[in-house]
Amino acid sequence: MRKKGSLKISHLTWGGIDCHELAARFGTPLYVFDTGIIRSRCRELRETFIDRWENTRVRYAGKAFLIRAMAKLIQDEGLGLDVVSLGELMTALSAGFPPERIEMNGNAKSHAEIEAAVNSRVGRIIIDHPDELMTIQNYAQKAGIVQRAMIRVAPGVDAHTHKYIATGSTDSKFGVPADPREGSMLTDTLKAARDCRNVEIRGLHFHVGSQLFETEDYTKSIEVILKLMKSLKDEWGFVTHELNMGGGFGAVINPSVPAMRSEFYTDPMMKALIEGCGAYGLEVPRAILEPGRWIISEAGITLYTVENVRELPEISYIAVDGGMSDNPRFALYQAEYNAVKISDINGKIYRPSNGGKVSIVGKCCESGDILIDDAKIQEVKAGDVIALFNTGAYTFSMSSNYNYLPRPAVVFVENGEAKIAAERQTMEDLMRGQVLLF
Ligand code: LLP
């Protein structure tokens, strides 16, 4: 059983602390992470992937949630890190993250980002566009090193997920098509790499999509990549020493439903890879994974204070003190969440007398500023605190200052102890850098 908020008492606790205490101490909106859950996810990946299969690595996808304390935790847990920008890279490095365990992704890396990645000696740069090759070569030559790299390919598989988070189709903006023919972006890059003495292409990378709940998208992609590996070896003499199979393991929305165990994904993936290599006469490459949300989503909850309740003839709105500025995922992907009133988690679900639905909405000036469209939650009034579950992934990292709302604080909790990991933005933070020109 995964550790969740205790159901013994009617108050919600997280990481062993009453959420009322958290709200009173740190204010709302508040991102709260149970680091015990994050650690147990990391441990599960070590047990079911790194320890079970030879020559494997895990790189946590920092885009899901990265602050310096998170980088430290990932480092302590023995995993590597996938970064996609100078900001993510600097966050990790400033936390003392070992650069050799960092890989840099990104479909439009700037020269400055590539320079920083090379100069800080990151373990791998994932080449997403052929132009990056020469840029890496130039900076690596200047630094007097050989930079290890991989090439991201689009396997041409349309993942079963929201179209905004499907990334593996041939017309994707990410990577180069998995095409081994003469003159393709991929083979032209491999040819050009032969003359780049300061770049070593170690293998291939794919990421088929996010929030996946079945394994077919992975196994289909692996089949495509194996064929590609075989052609690249036979026709171009290119050996794929490493294969990064991306992230995408799904995160559940209902706190009482545990996530898929990691081997649900990794066993079929590794079976497909190992058996396929056997069938094609290929050496099994090092297998790398880049999960983000599966590690972090369920560890996180967001606490909000109810500002008001508005009962209209056909719908009732519970309006809270945050919204799409701290969690834009309903607005972007119609993502679903569950919520409870923290003082009465086992209480009766509120049914408005008009029979209409209950929507939990934010305070931003948009009708689309919705957190839960059709919420099942206890009756609340202004001043009550509610918790949204499974908000650890892509909330803090996608937050904005829309309507000049300060970004909420992040608190890490474990075994009854709460520590601030990122402070709430202040009004000074919001004004910083603005010049009163007139
Ligand atoms: N690796 C690569 C190359 C990726 O592009 C991504 C996600 C991941 C790993 C991690 O995927 P995860 O395991 O977290 O699903 N903002 C969206 C998600 C965008 C994901 C983009 N890439 C959301 O809130 O659902």
Helix axes 185-194, 132-143, angle to 10 degrees: 20
Asked if CATH classification 2.40.37.10 holds for the domain at 7-32+297-431, the reply, yes or no, is: yes
Instruction: Specify the pLDDT at position 2.
Output: 44
* Residue 291 in contact with ligand 1 by CB distance below 6 A: yes
Task: State the closest ligand 1 atom to the C-alpha of 393, by its place in the atom list counted from 1.
Answer: 24
Task: State the closest ligand 1 atom to the C-alpha of 126, by its place in the atom list counted from 1.
Answer: 3
Instruction: Specify the pLDDT at position 7.
Output: 46
Task: State the closest ligand 1 atom to the C-alpha of 64, by its place in the atom list counted from 1.
Answer: 14
Return the ∠ at Cα 284 (arms to 283 and 290), rounded to 5°: 145
Q: How far is the CA of 247 from the centre of ligand 1 (A)?
A: 7
Q: How far is the CA of 86 from the centre of ligand 1 (A)?
A: 17
Rounded CA gap, 381 and 425, in Å?
27
Q: How far is the CA of 308 from the centre of ligand 1 (A)?
A: 34
Sequence-distant (6+) residues with CB within 8 A of 264 are 215
* Residue 430 in contact with ligand 1 by CB distance below 6 A: no
CB 373 within 8 A of CB 420: no
Q: Which amino acid is at 91?
A: T
Domain boundaries, the chain: 7-32+297-431, 106-289
Task: State the closest ligand 1 atom to the C-alpha of 293, by its place in the atom list counted from 1.
Answer: 14
CB 247 within 8 A of CB 257: no
Instruction: Specify the pLDDT at position 159.
Output: 76
Instruction: Specify the pLDDT at position 280.
Output: 98
Rounded CA gap, 151 and 105, in Å?
10
* Residue 136 in contact with ligand 1 by CB distance below 6 A: no
Q: How far is the CA of 328 from the centre of ligand 1 (A)?
A: 15
Task: State the closest ligand 1 atom to the C-alpha of 167, by its place in the atom list counted from 1.
Answer: 5
DSSP state at residue 363: S
Quick count: other Cβ atoms within 10 Å of Cβ 417? 11
* Residue 84 in contact with ligand 1 by CB distance below 6 A: no
Instruction: Specify the pLDDT at position 281.
Output: 98
* Residue 105 in contact with ligand 1 by CB distance below 6 A: yes
Among the four given CATH numbers 3.20.20.70, 2.50.20.10, 3.40.50.300, 3.20.20.10, the one describing domain 106-289: 3.20.20.10
Instruction: Specify the pLDDT at position 163.
Output: 74
DSSP state at residue 349: B
The one-digit pLDDT tens for each residue of the chain (438 residues) are 345 554 455 999 999 999 999 999 999 999 999 999 999 999 999 999 999 999 999 999 999 999 999 999 999 999 999 999 999 999 999 999 999 999 999 999 999 999 999 999 999 999 999 999 999 999 999 999 999 999 999 999 987 777 777 777 778 899 999 999 999 999 999 999 999 999 999 999 999 999 999 999 999 999 999 999 999 999 999 999 999 999 999 998 887 787 899 999 999 999 999 999 999 999 999 999 999 999 999 999 999 999 999 999 999 999 999 999 999 999 999 999 999 999 999 999 999 988 899 999 999 999 999 999 999 999 999 999 999 999 999 999 999 999 999 999 999 999 899 999 999 999 999 999 999 999
Instruction: Specify the pLDDT at position 1.
Output: 39
* Residue 247 in contact with ligand 1 by CB distance below 6 A: yes
Instruction: Specify the pLDDT at position 109.
Output: 98
* Residue 20 in contact with ligand 1 by CB distance below 6 A: no
CB 58 within 8 A of CB 41: no
Q: How far is the CA of 125 from the centre of ligand 1 (A)?
A: 17
42 is catalytic: no
Quick count: other Cβ atoms within 10 Å of Cβ 108? 11
- Which of 66, 128, 290 to probe ligand 1 with, by most ligand atoms within 8 A of CB? 290
